[in-house]
Structure 1
Amino acid sequence: MTTTRMRAEIAEQPVALRRTLDALLPAVPGIARLAERTRQVLFIARGSSDNAAIYGRYLVEAHTGRLATPAAPSIATAYRRRVDLDGVLAVAISQSGKTEEIVETLGWAADCGARTVAITNGAASPLAEAADLALVTEAGDEIAVPATKTYSTQLAALAVLGVGLGADVDPGDLRRVPDEVARLIEETESSPALAAMVAELAPVSGAVVSGRGIAFGTALELALKLKEACYLHAMGLSYADLLHGPIAVVDPRTPAILVAAEEGPTLPGTVALAHRVTGAGARAYGIGGGEELAAACSHALPGPRLPEWAAPLGLIVPGQVLVEALARALGLNPDLPRGLNKVTQTD
């Protein structure tokens, strides 16, 4: 079997995560000092980084009691309107740190009164230099266009940010993440469910990917990867939104991929959705969710044995392995999706 760069970079994640956590956990006191006079978090991101920011938003709101919101960069770059950001911690996320729109929006946020944090894999990037505090991930060079190790290390940086903001979590849980990711890669690749899911997804043109709460960003990121690398019409939705109408698209030709941590308040709803999907004669594929979700699904891949707040750092990994394997089965090169570049510039 030919090893793609995407597959090689998936395998590098345990080391990249360990390096990133070693580098960033000592920054917790500095984060706390910077955020002392702030009350709200504003996330600035695009693409995979935006999906990481969804995790950050749920983590901050569920575990620190602060309001967290996504920025609309066009307010800064197109409308050029000033907004009162006094008391706001603006967090810009970009793997390269070179996306001009994100750099400009972070500068705009500072000019509007926000304190600023950059999360980037580029230590000497314009984004890192523009921020009051840079949380530089240690993913190393990423060659494949679909983000894998840069995405998971962004999640690690956001988890550290949450700890710095006073999240009611055990930071020691993060030390378990690299070994869990290594286990997930090995168990996913040896799972009979992987081959079955690839075989059943290969003929379809579309799929729904769903999760809720802290797992919602994982669902969005997996849907994006299926679009990028497999050219699949994948729709990422919260299961709450899915039940409001789009559930109608799930049928024997349009399966659902459901992601969940092994614990937490959204797991029962995810399991109920799996039963509804299979009860309608469609296929439901689980990622994570423990034995309960696996029993409700047609096939299931393992998830991380981590508490809900830290689970997304590993939950995306089986999905990455699935996407890479499906792309190869379709005769596609997941390293170089058509029409995409590693650094995307937006207006």
Structure 2
Amino acid sequence: MPNAAIDGRTTLMEREAGEAAAAVAAMLAANRDAFIAIGRRLRASPPVAVVTCARGSSDHAATYAKYLIETMTGTPTASAALSIASLYDAPAVAGNRLCLAVSQSGKSPDLLAAVEQQRDAGAFVVALVNAEGSPLAALADVVIPLSAGVERSVAATKSYIASLAAIAALVAAWAEDDALEAALTALPGQLEQAFALDWLPAVAAFRGATNLFVLGRGYGLGVAQEAALKFKETSALHAESFSAAEVRHGPMAIVGDAFHVLAFGGTDRAAASVREAAAEFRGRGATVLLADGDGDLPVIAAHPAIEPVLMIQSFYRMASALALARGQDPDSPPHLNKVTETL
């Protein structure tokens, strides 16, 4: 892919996304023993449920965790409504749960309140956090440092990818899944390849867009959510994410020849429905770009759980270029701060 600096600049967002491969390699190496120990504990005392605590991009990583945990271990997994603890002071029922907290800063008050609530109710707390000395790290039973380093761009990139990789490593250790373990070994090198893929056709296609759907399903739903957020915060482009199944329950009625769609495919069964929805929307005249082996945007074939991680890496570089093409600064979006301290 040519340099993404449409107006002669290379953004912090692009540079930091390009550091994801090194961050993931460092995170996996530093936490190898911790993942093994977590997996051993979860097998010895299987939790009845997993509660994820996160907001923003980190909550999109939690969506990925839900699909990976439920498909590989069968353990029900749900995202906590953080306001239940921070605004309503409602108690949590005691029980043997895994609380998986995901955060870049580890500082948001509502996140901390929810994690503390889960811990006090007997949950085993694992924190995936980029700031090792954060208040969240102090609450956790086990801390997995994401090793992404400082992110100066408001738009999170490498820390999100490191979160996905950490979730995959935790689940691989828990499920003792050799195929996923092997895929994680190859991931840093594949991230470098994914960053070099040419997604610039999406810049031309979406430069003048006003409304956009982002589709995914299964393991790919979390990155569809993340891409929709990045369209909004970096390009001021109204975008919504949907499961390729859920989009058929009403939202598809508004898709026509003035609409734009980005679809994340892949090689597993879930991706087949993404391709079907993309084809239907294309037939209605919508501008559709499909990231898939036989699609409009190139992808790298890998383990089905790893393919979305690679696709979001390709997306980030394109998103930086698109923001510049639309006259936006992806590093300093209006009205946003790096740490959102919600109550």
Matches within 5 A, 1:238-253: 238-253=243-258
Q: 1:88 aligns with which of 75, 93, 97?
A: 97
Q: Distance in 1 between matches of 2:196 and 2:288?
A: 23
Structure 2 residue 161 is the aligned partner of structure 1 residue 172: no
One-letter amino acid of the counterpart of residue 252, structure 2: I
Q: Distance in 2 between matches of 1:70 and 1:30?
A: 24
State the identity as a percent: 34
Residue aligning to 1:282: 286
Displacement after TM superposition at 1:254 (Å): 1.3
Secondary structure at the aligned position of 1:338 is classed as coil
Residue aligning to 2:4: none
Structure 2 residue 115 is the aligned partner of structure 1 residue 119: no
Displacement after TM superposition at 1:283 (Å): 1.4
Displacement after TM superposition at 1:25 (Å): 2.4
Preserved contact between residue 60 and residue 167 of structure 1 (Cα < 8 Å): no
Displacement after TM superposition at 1:264 (Å): 0.8
Q: Distance in 2 between matches of 1:196 and 1:173?
A: 28
Residue aligning to 1:186: 196
Q: Distance in 2 between matches of 1:91 and 1:195?
A: 36
One-letter amino acid of the counterpart of residue 184, structure 2: L
One-letter amino acid of the counterpart of residue 144, structure 2: L
Residue aligning to 1:142: 151
Preserved contact between residue 64 and residue 167 of structure 1 (Cα < 8 Å): no
The normalised TM-score by structure 2 is: 0.94
Residue aligning to 2:160: 151
Q: Distance in 2 between matches of 1:68 and 1:123?
A: 25
One-letter amino acid of the counterpart of residue 87, structure 1: N
Change (3 A) 1:255 1:169: farther
User: Which 10-residue stretch deviates more, 306-315 or 55-64?
Assistant: 306-315
Matches within 5 A, 1:293-332: 294=295, 300-332=296-328
Cα distance per residue 1:36-69 (max 9 Å; x no partner): 3223111000000000000000000011111111
Q: Distance in 2 between matches of 1:174 and 1:236?
A: 26
Structure 2 residue 15 is the aligned partner of structure 1 residue 8: yes
Displacement after TM superposition at 1:317 (Å): 1.2
Residue aligning to 1:342: 338
Cα distance per residue 1:305-345 (max 9 Å; x no partner): 21112222212112112211110001111000001101001
Structure 2 residue 73 is the aligned partner of structure 1 residue 70: no
Give structure 1 stretches of 5+ with no counterpart: 189-193, 295-299
One-letter amino acid of the counterpart of residue 98, structure 2: L
Cα distance per residue 1:99-151 (max 9 Å; x no partner): 12112211110111111110100111111111000111110110100110000
Q: 1:29 aligns with which of 36, 39, 51?
A: 36
User: Which 10-residue stretch deviates more, 172-181 or 194-203?
Assistant: 194-203
Secondary structure at the aligned position of 2:328 is classed as coil
One-letter amino acid of the counterpart of residue 212, structure 2: A
Displacement after TM superposition at 1:169 (Å): 4.9
One-letter amino acid of the counterpart of residue 306, structure 1: A
Q: How many residue pairs align between the two structures?
A: 333
Preserved contact between residue 252 and residue 281 of structure 1 (Cα < 8 Å): yes
Change (3 A) 1:169 1:213: farther
Preserved contact between residue 34 and residue 115 of structure 1 (Cα < 8 Å): no
- Cα RMSD of the aligned pairs, angstroms, is 1.3
Secondary structure at the aligned position of 1:266 is classed as helix
Change (3 A) 1:315 1:195: closer
Preserved contact between residue 223 and residue 309 of structure 2 (Cα < 8 Å): no
Q: Distance in 1 between matches of 2:158 and 2:31?
A: 16
Change (3 A) 1:309 1:196: closer
Matches within 5 A, 1:43-62: 43-62=52-71
The normalised TM-score by structure 1 is: 0.93
Q: Distance in 2 between matches of 1:78 and 1:17?
A: 35
Displacement after TM superposition at 1:167 (Å): 5.3
One-letter amino acid of the counterpart of residue 338, structure 2: K
Matches within 5 A, 1:217-228: 217-228=222-233
Change (3 A) 1:167 1:316: farther
Change (3 A) 1:208 1:225: same
Preserved contact between residue 86 and residue 109 of structure 2 (Cα < 8 Å): no
Displacement after TM superposition at 1:81 (Å): 1.3
Cα distance per residue 1:272-296 (max 9 Å; x no partner): 1121011111111112x212xx1xx
Preserved contact between residue 45 and residue 94 of structure 1 (Cα < 8 Å): yes
Q: Distance in 1 between matches of 2:59 and 2:176?
A: 21
Preserved contact between residue 24 and residue 160 of structure 1 (Cα < 8 Å): no
Change (3 A) 1:259 1:169: farther
Secondary structure at the aligned position of 1:276 is classed as helix
Preserved contact between residue 64 and residue 168 of structure 1 (Cα < 8 Å): no
Secondary structure at the aligned position of 1:165 is classed as helix
Preserved contact between residue 4 and residue 335 of structure 1 (Cα < 8 Å): yes
Q: Distance in 1 between matches of 2:272 and 2:246?
A: 16
